[in-house]
Structure 1
Amino acid sequence: MLKPASLCKPIEYPKPDGKLTFDRLSSVFISNTNHEENQPAHLTLKDATVPVGINLKTYAGPEARFCPAGVYEFVKVDSDEDRLQINAQNCVHCKTCDIKDPTQNIVWVTPEGGGGPNYPNM
Structure 2
Amino acid sequence: MSPAKVGEIALFVFPVSLAILAFAGGGTWSVVAFAVLYGASNGVMTIVRGTVPAEIWGHEGYGGLTGLMATPVLLARAAGPLAAAGVLMLAGGYRAVTLALAAVGVVSWIAFTLAVRPARR
Give yes or no for TM over 0.5: no
TM-score, L = length of structure 2: 0.29
Q: Which has the higher strand share?
A: 1
Q: Which has the higher helix share?
A: 2
Structure number with greater CO (CA < 8 Å, separation at least 6) is 2
